[in-house]
Every structure is written in structure tokens, then in C-alpha cells.
Structure 1
Amino acid sequence: MIRNIKQLDDETFDVVIVGGGVYGLSTAWDASLRGLKVAVLEQSDFGKATSSASLKLVHGGLRYLQHLNFARMRVSIGERKHMLYMAPHLVHPLEFLIPCYSHGMKGPEALQLAMLANDVISFDRNIGLDDPEKHIPIGRRTSNEECLRRIPGLKQEGLKGGGSFYDAQMYNSERLTLAFGLSAAAQGCVAANYARVTRFKVEHGRIQAATVKDLIGGNEIEVRGKLFINMTGPWSDITAQLTKTDNPDRRVVRSKGVQLIAKPLADVAFSIESKQKDSTVLIKRGGRNYFVTPWRGKAFFGTTDTLYRGAPEDFAITQKDVAEFVAEMADIFPAAELKYEDVSFWIGGMRPVGEEDSNPEVAKAAHKYEIVDHSREDGIQNLLSIVGVKYTICRHIAQRVVQAVFLKRGKTPPPCTTATTRLAGGHIDRFDDFLREACRTSPWNETITRHLALNYGSDWRSIAKLAEADKSLATTLSGSGEVLRAEVLHAIRNEMALKLTDVVMRRTDLGTLGHPGRSALEECATLMARELGWNDEKRADELTEAEAIYKLPPG
């Protein structure tokens, strides 16, 4: 994946996608596979904003039973299966354990019926998955003893057993997002990060070109296209306004979701009932749930829903956000003994707002995606805006969007093949066998090899080749037991990493669990400076920007 600004300026594209998150990149992949000439323009780095702020879950929609929305369940179940197939190194089954403390709708009997219904509705969940490690087992009832043993500190009084069911989890959501981009690029898609669309050139009700500011080179280009797709997430309203003005209103209202990464709690995912009620459900079992999931040796807590008003670029998680989340966890699950200082990192993002709440500070995130055709909205004939809500169904939405693209062009859509096509790094028949063979043949220890296999999948040997050609790249970064110096060079040369934060947060997993240590940042910055020709001032600026990620404003 090579950044080619000149090619973007010189050519005319069938489709120009504005937004390089998981929705934009998955759509680019689908469109490229179906023979369209595609460009992707991302104002920051690929997957930096909302796509990186998920719960890391690829969920089969069990909670939609409460809404009696079986159609959405079927879509989610199907997309979970497709993710397990497309990226077997990055998506893995995850067990959930749900304790019960009463009978009736919140009891084990109701939960068992829900799990049975889920098993029936998802009857084909494993069909087409030849790897047994990727299979989703049936739900089962669990005893008090198992609940207490597997969730340390769980309240014993009144416990009525529970239930176990499986969903799926992303090992590294940033690399999964990137895999869509890498796969699109392999099919001829021309993508650029740090390429901000500043206005649309409109003539006779059609966008002729997007004016783009290259935030790296500093120049301005025009990217011409036949059809434009706005997939900018929280910026979607702002981007749509660029057909009319160079200075759009930047104030938005969104749901603000915050997740915390802290000390490990259990070897199984579980839910904790919050004090916030979900008025949208038809079958009521109590309040909204927080999920606590084991993730890369830590506990992942999420997610909050509060109201955000302001410009998307001003969005930030604050000390107040973290402190309030920790305080609520201490109140509803004191056994976690979670303290502010236990939190090693935090992530968050903005989602569309659904129904209003009587509490003006509470937001209900929307549950449904939208595909807006601007020919009906404001007379722009060749602009679609997509508002997504769930990472899990990105491939499904991409399929729908590309269908719409062909129909708008008056053509019959070719078949969509993404559900049965491996993503970059996903060419693995059986993951356990693949991992075992990688450990057998790797020049590194099992810890490093597992890290490479889980992050790069079948492409892990591209890192090995770099290290073999330059032995100085075969060692880990200072303070890291896993991330190799070769990964930094690979990210720059093959994955369009242009800034220190790109490498630390999205090409490697060096900094995604918390601050990796100053020595690791320094060494990474030195490698990048040498490769990209940074001077001392630029290197210092990059280090300052990376350090700022781990400093919260007061709020």
C-alpha cells in the first residue's frame, strides 16, 4: 500500500470514498473486487477515529432477542462467521458467562431459553468454517460453582447459576481495519491518509472533483470521480455540507462512548448491569449492560453512552470521564476493586444518536445504519452518505453500498465475493496448525512468534524477511517483549505509516494497552527518522504528539 498523491491528481475514478475507517476501507475492497476504479481519501490515519474505539467484539446479536429483531440477529450472525473466515488470525471465539440472581426474566431459566433461541436462529453459524477453532459452540447453563470460580469476587448471595455462550473478539481491531485497506490496495485501489477533503467542486448538480489538501506534502490537488461516497462517520454531516460551502457548521451531537483497559479480572467475558435503562427493548431484563472482556492480558471495560456536543475534532476523553466510569464500576461491581490508577489506557469515539433520553447528559447510540442518496436529499446526483453504527456489519454495509453504486450507474451489480475471500494475512486453513508451524520455523521465541502470527497472519514472514536482510531489525524495541524493530520499517514501506503515532497505535500494538515506555518511543522515532528523513525538530514533535495520547485533559 503505497501513498501516491500524483496518481490521485492525475486519474479519474469510478468511485471516490471520503473516509478511511473500516466502513470506507471495506467498501473500497468490495468495489475494487467488483472491477471499479476506487480512490480513498482519509483526513488523518486509517482507522484512527471511530473504528479504533470499538469494544473489540464481533457480535452475533444475542441482545437483539430483547428487541425481537430476528432479521438483525441473522445479519450479525452471518457477519461474525464471515469475519472468522476472512481474518482467522485477528478474529477468535470468545466465551461469555452471564450470572443470574433471580428467577423470571432475569433468571437462568429465561437465559437458557434465550441461548436456545440463539442456537436455533444461528443454526448455520459454523457452516463454511472448516477450522474447528473458529466454531461457535452452543450455549449452556452454568453452576454457581463455575460462576464463582471463573469470575473472582462475584457476589455469592442470591446467585442462581448462569449461562455460557460464545461470540467473537478482535485481537487487534486496528490491524483488522488496515487489512481491508491492504486488500483493497492489492486490487488496485488508490488510497491516501492525511489527505483532507476541503470542498467539492459541483457543476449542474454533480460533484466533478474533491479538492484535497495533502497534509504531508502541503500541496492541494483535485481528485475527480464519477460517484462520491461520504463515509466519514462523525464528520458525515460536515462532509455533506462541502457541496455548498467551504466553511460548514462543525457542531454535531453524538453519543460519546468510553472504554477502559485495566488490570485483568477473569478468563471469561461477563456483563454487569448498569444503572442506565434501555427503553428500546421489548423484552426487559433490567438496565443496560457493561461488558468486561479479557483482552491481551488485560480487562476491557465498556461502554458508556453520554452526550457529546461540539466539533468532532475536539472530541476527547477526559480525566473526569475515566474517574466517573471507575466510580460507577466500584458502585455496581465492587469486587473488581477498580481504582483510577489501575487504568492503563482508555479509548473512545462518537456514534450517531438514537432516541432521546429524559436525562440531557445521556445518549442512546443509534442501532441502525443509513444509506442516504443526496439526489433525493439536496439534488446532488452522485453523492451517497453512509452512517454506520456497528463494526461487525461493515462488510454487509459495504456490499449494500456497492450494489447501490452499480444501480446508480444503471448497471447490473456483479456478484459480491467478499464473504468468501480472505483478507490480507488471512490465508490460513487451520489457525492452530498455522501457529504451531510458525513457532516451529520462526527464528524468534514463542512469545514474539505468537505476536507476529496474531497480528500479521500469513504475512508474518514479510517481517522475517526484513529482519533476515538486516540483523539489526531482528531484535525487539526497548521495553517491549514482542514488537520487533523490523515491524517499524515494514509499516513505513508497506503500510503507509507516516507518523510515530501511526506505528505505535495502528500498525503495531506497541502502545494500545498503555504507555510503552519512553525508550520504546525514542527507538521507534529514531528508526522512523532515519527511514523518512526527519530532522531533530520533526522527531521531537512526533514524540510530543505520541506522549500526548497518554495524557488526559481534566474535563
Structure 2
Amino acid sequence: MAQDKPLDIVVIGGGVNGTGIARDAAGRGLSVLLCEKSDLGSGTSSASTKLIHGGLRYLEQYEFRLVRESLMEREVLLRAAPHIIWPMRFVLPHNKSLRPAWMIRLGLFLYDHLGGRKLLPGSEGVKLADHPSGGPLKDDMTKGFVYSDCWVQDARLVVLNAIDARERGAEVLTRTECVSARRVDELWEIELRDLLSGQMRKVSARALVNAAGPWVASVLEQRVGSNRAAGLRMIKGSHIVVPAMFDHDYSYIFQNPDGRIVFAIPYEEDYTLVGTTDVEYEGDPAQVACSEDEISYLCNAVNEYFKSEIAPKDVVWTYSGVRPLYDDASQNASTITRDYVLDLDEQAGRAPMLSVFGGKITTFRKLAEHAMEKLCPLIACSAPDWTATAMLPGGDIGTHYGDVDFDAFVERFKKQHAWLPQELAWRYARNYGARAAMILGDAKDLSGLGQELGDGIYEAELSYLVEQEWLVEGADLLWRRSKLGLHVSKETAARIESWLAQHALAGRRAG
């Protein structure tokens, strides 16, 4: 059945750009529906290097606008979600054969000053022999540079945008695909299918946003019947996870002879994350995987710098994603612009469509703002921008807006709930921020959290995730809402799957 009143906007795609646009639009008072054919953030948005960063290497490509916007966004997003975004210091060991020291100093000077940095410490040169980061490095690495960026739980960032969109009035549908979308005069008529129940639904909207990421072209060609996707270029980026290669909190950025850079980042307490690659990709984005060549490339890249070498046999997990970049005719996959392009298909007397190409997770909020700047005049919306000073759900961890002292919040949280095991209290605080209270409810001890399914995972958390965060399957929790998949036993994972089949999946299939 079609709804009586047309929606203002339908968004296809539940990645960071789609949920960011839905949130921005809903906050302007517009009626919004978002559909995602899988889980939120299940594509490119959960396969990033998990950095909120300016992109130091983009300075060499003269991408000054992109770098400046990204640097400014670091602190905007840090204030908005200090529970899932936090500062990180990066060490760049100087390799004299690749770039001269003066060039790096100049780049870091620009990096410090382009974005109006206030919260993050600036860059500095260090003698690696006297610095905590120097120990794991080979002895010929004597000089380095240290600078700031931020880390983000990328898939959680997507979910928080979706929650905020819903709480501002948007309808967010997961496991729901757009079967077709066609213009009928000044409206879009859109057919949706719930992939769990099989139920069909028709809606109409004044504007359509195609934020399907790597599927942006297939949506245009197969669902809309448009050929406007000629500018898409798909680039695969892969990461590997290995047992911890160092025991300090610094991250590394390594230069490579091929011009690429590779990060080595402390990950999930017990591991090191290494990435990323840049490989042209032509297959199905849903089938993307890290190749043996990519694993070897990443191992070899860090082995040039670390005393203790790694081999493919040391890899405990890999993940890959496809970046839907705008084709700027670059010959090298690494130099294709990461800037975003918003393609507006506007015809007089016809409903508009906006397609999103490219972009970085760091710039999703500005991308959403720019998308609404294009769409608002076409759907008679005069509401102003608002997201620059708005917290994401759970981000109100301090005493005032912009209080990003997570450590102080954790200490208060532990004292308020002294019965919680320290590790569990920290995990709840880090994943959910102020909304951890919604999981705990009136509980006074662990029995108040319901059955433990194993490894510190209780029914109360699963219930919260089903009710508030669209949890349907075990992978939604173990690899997107968290990375508990690296930590829990197979038995725990099986119990989670069984619990969800009874409490979440059955309900969705029943419609």
C-alpha cells in the first residue's frame, strides 16, 4: 500500500553517507525514509581504516580543500561523539630515501594549521631512540615525526546517525531493498521489499537520494533505469589484523617506495590493525575479500620498519571494502580523489534525484550538509544547517557540550555501577556512552542483566541492540556494533545467533 501523503525524501543506502543525509534531513523537519538492503554500515562504512583524519598524503596531491574540510571535521565529530571517537597520536618514521625531512615538516605545518585545530595537540619531531614508539622499530630508524588525528568505531558511527535520524522522525528500514524507483510527474514512486518477510510496500517521495555506495551504479541502472553512473570507479581497500606488534598507544604511518602509505594501529587491546591497499575492483562489492597478494603486500610493508616481522600465517582476520570513487582519470588507484561528488539529476517539473560518489568517513557530515543545500530549494525547505553543534546519541558524556574527557566519564560510570566488572563497564561506556544507562536499566547486579550468553554478553545488551539498533543477526553485533568477534568463543557466538533467531529474526520475519 502507498502512504496517503508523499514523503519529502527517500534515501537508498544505510552507510555513513546515507544515514548522515537522513539525519540531516529529518532534523530539518522533513519526512524521510531510509532503506538498506543489508545491515547498517555493512559495506564500505565498516571496512575503513577507522580514522577521522585530514589525510596527510592528500597534501601531496594538492587536495587542499578536502584536507582542510577533513581537518575541521575531526574536532566537530570528536565533540559530537567522544565515546566512539577519540584522539590518537601517529608516528611517522623518517625514511630518507623517500621524502626529505623538510618536506615532511612543511606538510605537518600545513596539517597543524589548515583546519583551525583547538582540541588536538600539534606535531613535533622526535628522536626515536628516546621515544616510546622507537623500541619496536629497526635500529636505522633514528628520526620521526608525531602528529594527531582521531580514531572512530566506524560502523557504530553509522548506527548513531540512523538512531538520531529515527528519533527526529525518519523511518529507517534495514534488510529492505529498493526494487524500483520511477518518476511520475513531480514525485518518485518507489517499490520496497522486506527481505526477511518478503512483504512489498510502495511509497512516494518528492526527492530520491542514491547513497548506495559501491552499488550506486547498479541502483541507477537496474532500479531507476538511468545511465548517469559513468563516473564511478571502484577501488578495493583491504586490512589485516595480527597479534599486537607493540605495547604502547601510538600508531604508525609508514611510507612505502610505491608512494603509498600503510598504517599500523593498536586494535582491540590485543591486536594490531594494518592497512590499507588500493586495488581496482570490478566484481560484486558484496563478494569483496582480501587477496593473498594484498596480505603479502601489507606484511612486507610493515616488515620494512619493525624489528619483529610478520607473515601471512600470523593474520587472524582480514576485511575489505570497495570505495565508490569519482573517476578523475587518474592512472594510479592511490591518487584518485577521495573528495565527494554530488550528482543532481534535476529536470523541470520532474522529481529530483541526488547520487553520491566518493567521500571519506571523515567528511560524511559536510557531505550531508552539501546534499541538503542542493535538495532544499527543490522541495521548498528553508530550515538551516544544524548538525555542526549537535551531539550524536550517547555523546553527552560530560558536563557540557564539547566535553570530550572520556576517561572522566568512565570513572564516573564505574563508580555509579560499582557492581559491574571493570572490563564490562569500560566496554559499555566506550560503545554506548551515556546510553549505556539504557542497557542497565534498574539492574543492581549482574543478575539484573538477564542470562549471560558467554564472554560477558548479557541479554540486556542484546535486547537493547534489537530494540534500538536494528540488530538481527550475530554478525551485526560481533563485527559491526562491536568487534567482539575477535574475542568471544565459538560457543558464545552460537548462543548469540540462537538467541537472535528467537527474539529478533522471528519477529522481523513475522512482519
Identify if the C-alpha distance between structure 1 residues 13 and 525 changes in structure 2 by more than 3 Å, giving closer, same or farther. same
Q: What are the within-5 Å matches in structure 2 for residues 197-276 of structure 1?
A: 197-204=178-185, 206-242=186-222, 245=225, 254-266=234-246, 267=248, 268-276=250-258
- State whether structure 2 residue 466 is matched by structure 1 residue 497: no
TM-score, with normalisation over the residues of structure 1? 0.82
Counterpart contact for 1:141–1:164, Cα < 8 Å? yes
Counterpart contact for 2:420–2:446, Cα < 8 Å? no
Identify if the C-alpha distance between structure 1 residues 288 and 379 changes in structure 2 by more than 3 Å, giving closer, same or farther. farther
Q: SS state of the match for residue 86, structure 2?
A: strand
Counterpart contact for 2:192–2:202, Cα < 8 Å? yes
Distance apart, 1:516 and its partner CA: 2.9
Identify if the C-alpha distance between structure 1 residues 321 and 465 changes in structure 2 by more than 3 Å, giving closer, same or farther. farther
Residue among 259, 267, 272 paired with 1:295 = 267
Counterpart contact for 1:258–1:349, Cα < 8 Å? yes
Q: Distance in 2 between matches of 1:12 and 1:302?
A: 44
Distance apart, 1:146 and its partner CA: 3.2
Counterpart contact for 1:356–1:364, Cα < 8 Å? no
Aligned partner letter, 1:408: L
Q: SS state of the match for residue 96, structure 1?
A: strand
Identify if the C-alpha distance between structure 1 residues 416 and 240 changes in structure 2 by more than 3 Å, giving closer, same or farther. same
Residue among 440, 450, 463 paired with 2:415 = 440
Q: SS state of the match for residue 184, structure 1?
A: helix
Q: Distance in 2 between matches of 1:507 and 1:42?
A: 16
Partner of residue 124, structure 2? 140
Partner of residue 396, structure 2? 427
Question: What 5-or-longer segments of structure 2 have no aligned partner?
Answer: 399-404
Partner of residue 375, structure 2? 405
- State whether structure 2 residue 30 is matched by structure 1 residue 46: no
Q: Distance in 2 between matches of 1:301 and 1:11?
A: 49
Distance apart, 1:156 and its partner CA: 1.9
Aligned partner letter, 1:402: M
Identity of aligned residues (%): 25
Q: What are the within-5 Å matches in structure 2 for residues 117-196 of structure 1?
A: 117-122=110-115, 124-126=116-118, 135-147=119-131, 149-157=132-140, 159-170=141-152, 172-196=153-177
Partner of residue 339, structure 2? 368
Counterpart contact for 2:183–2:351, Cα < 8 Å? no
Aligned partner letter, 2:127: S
RMSD over aligned CA atoms reads 3.0
Q: Distance in 2 between matches of 1:224 and 1:312?
A: 28
Partner of residue 106, structure 1? 99
Distance apart, 1:272 and its partner CA: 1.9
Q: Distance in 1 between matches of 2:290 and 2:491?
A: 26
Q: SS state of the match for residue 41, structure 2?
A: coil
Identify if the C-alpha distance between structure 1 residues 398 and 193 changes in structure 2 by more than 3 Å, giving closer, same or farther. same
Counterpart contact for 1:58–1:167, Cα < 8 Å? yes
Identify if the C-alpha distance between structure 1 residues 88 and 102 changes in structure 2 by more than 3 Å, giving closer, same or farther. same
Partner of residue 21, structure 2? 27
Instruction: Return 465-474 or 190-199, whichever deviates more.
Output: 465-474
Q: What are the within-5 Å matches in structure 2 for residues 321-360 of structure 1?
A: 321=293, 323-329=295-301, 332-333=304-305, 335-353=307-325, 354=327
Q: Distance in 1 between matches of 2:306 and 2:170?
A: 50
- State whether structure 2 residue 497 is matched by structure 1 residue 528: no
Aligned partner letter, 1:441: Q
Q: Distance in 1 between matches of 2:253 and 2:136?
A: 14
Distance apart, 1:342 and its partner CA: 2.1
Counterpart contact for 1:230–1:386, Cα < 8 Å? yes
- Deviation string 1:157-200 (CA, Å, 9 cap, x unpaired) is 2x441111110001x22111100000111101111001101111
Identify if the C-alpha distance between structure 1 residues 342 and 151 changes in structure 2 by more than 3 Å, giving closer, same or farther. farther
Partner of residue 414, structure 1? 383
- State whether structure 2 residue 65 is matched by structure 1 residue 90: no
Counterpart contact for 1:99–1:163, Cα < 8 Å? yes
Q: Distance in 2 between matches of 1:330 and 1:432?
A: 31
Q: Distance in 1 between matches of 2:204 and 2:172?
A: 14
Residue among 113, 116, 132 paired with 2:109 = 116
Distance apart, 1:70 and its partner CA: 3.0
Aligned partner letter, 1:154: L
Aligned partner letter, 1:259: H
Aligned partner letter, 1:61: G
Counterpart contact for 2:22–2:170, Cα < 8 Å? yes
Identify if the C-alpha distance between structure 1 residues 63 and 475 changes in structure 2 by more than 3 Å, giving closer, same or farther. farther
Identify if the C-alpha distance between structure 1 residues 334 and 118 changes in structure 2 by more than 3 Å, giving closer, same or farther. closer
Identify if the C-alpha distance between structure 1 residues 243 and 341 changes in structure 2 by more than 3 Å, giving closer, same or farther. closer
Q: Distance in 1 between matches of 2:81 and 2:38?
A: 25
Distance apart, 1:221 and its partner CA: 1.0
Q: Distance in 2 between matches of 1:185 and 1:275?
A: 47
Identify if the C-alpha distance between structure 1 residues 358 and 84 changes in structure 2 by more than 3 Å, giving closer, same or farther. closer
Q: Distance in 2 between matches of 1:533 and 1:162?
A: 51
- Deviation string 1:269-297 (CA, Å, 9 cap, x unpaired) is 11222343xxxxxxxxxx11111111222
Counterpart contact for 1:201–1:211, Cα < 8 Å? no
Identify if the C-alpha distance between structure 1 residues 508 and 293 changes in structure 2 by more than 3 Å, giving closer, same or farther. closer
Counterpart contact for 1:468–1:474, Cα < 8 Å? no
- State whether structure 2 residue 289 is matched by structure 1 residue 308: no
Q: Distance in 2 between matches of 1:473 and 1:320?
A: 43
Identify if the C-alpha distance between structure 1 residues 208 and 64 changes in structure 2 by more than 3 Å, giving closer, same or farther. closer
Question: What 5-or-longer segments of structure 1 have no aligned partner?
Answer: 1-5, 127-134, 277-286, 539-555
Q: Distance in 2 between matches of 1:423 and 1:190?
A: 17
Q: SS state of the match for residue 432, structure 1?
A: helix
Q: What are the within-5 Å matches in structure 2 for residues 438-517 of structure 1?
A: 438-442=413-417, 443-465=419-441, 471=447, 473-474=449-450, 476-478=452-454, 480=455, 482-511=456-485, 514=486, 516-517=488-489
Q: Distance in 2 between matches of 1:331 and 1:446?
A: 36
Identify if the C-alpha distance between structure 1 residues 468 and 490 changes in structure 2 by more than 3 Å, giving closer, same or farther. farther
Identify if the C-alpha distance between structure 1 residues 344 and 380 changes in structure 2 by more than 3 Å, giving closer, same or farther. farther
Task: State how many pairs are aligned.
Answer: 497
Q: Distance in 2 between matches of 1:309 and 1:101?
A: 34
